[in-house]
Amino acid sequence: MSRTLVLVRHGQSDWNLKNLFTGWRDPDLTEKGVEEAKAAGQRLKAAGLHFDLAFTSVLSRAQRTLSLMLTELGQEGLETIRDAALNERDYGDLSGLNKDDARAKWGEEQVHIWRRSYDVPPPGGESLKDTGARVWPYYIHKIQPKVLAGGTVIVAAHGNSLRALIMALDGLTGEEIVVQELATGVPVVYRLNADSTVASKDVLSA
């Protein structure tokens, strides 16, 4: 019984590089992001992981990261489920803006609150709490049963959708999760107990 769940934030995107709020917008990976995804796949292979099922968002940066990892693993044809429930947090009116320009428009303190508070959404967008409200039910109903049945499952998604998952898995508070950084292209490997609690957690950093 494997009961293994692997979470991977997509590799660096073009808008990460340009310091833009991305959210549900759909930029591609940079060359560095492609290399990060390939390296993640190589580390998963070195760890002896072989997947039964994959989940990803409907955004191309996460899908491409997954595809590059699976190629490294020799699992190009793996069954993959794509769902907007795993999309990045929607940044609303901030989407597409340079973070420095946003600070100039709304002020350093206000932008910091939108970025780093747990439950204050930017105008027209989602807070991390809102993001969790769509991620958690999806995990409980769609992903967790596959893991608890003994599967080895990979989820390629985004900084905030994965933060929401990690918050639940690690039992963190809203204040604790907002200060957690999640590196691009670094797999986080959870092994679960039969009761869905976490038996172990390993970060496969370079």
Per the annotation, the verdict on 181 as an active-site residue is: no
Which residue is catalytic, options 31, 36, 88, 175? Answer: 88
Q: Which of 199, 184, 146, 126 is nearest to 7 (CA)?
A: 184
Tell me the per-residue pLDDT of 18-59, one tens digit each, with 9 for 90 and over: 999 999 999 999 999 999 999 999 999 999 999 999 999 999
Tokens of 129: 């709490």
| Average pLDDT score over the chain | 97
Whether this model's pTM surpasses 0.85: yes
Per-residue buried b or exposed e for 184-198, using 16+ beta carbons within 10 Å of the residue's own CB: bbbbbbbbbeeeeee
3-state secondary structure of 86: helix
The annotation status of 119 as a binding-site residue, yes or no, is no
pLDDT digit string, tens, across residues 124-163: 999 999 999 999 999 999 999 999 999 999 999 999 999 9
pLDDT over 80 at 167, yes or no: yes
Q: What tokens appear for 172 in the block? A: 């963190």
Instruction: Give the Å distances, CA to CA, from 105 to 102, 125, 151.
Output: 5, 17, 48
The reply, when asked if residue 10 is annotated as ligand binding, is yes
DSSP 80: E
Single out the catalytic residue among 10, 36, 126, 158.
10
The answer to whether 90 is annotated as binding is yes
Long-range contact pairs involving 99-106 (C-beta distance under 8 Å, separation at least 24):
99/19, 99/20, 99/21, 100/19, 102/21
Q: Is 88 a catalytic residue?
A: yes
Domains of the chain: 4-90+129-190 (3.40.50.1240)
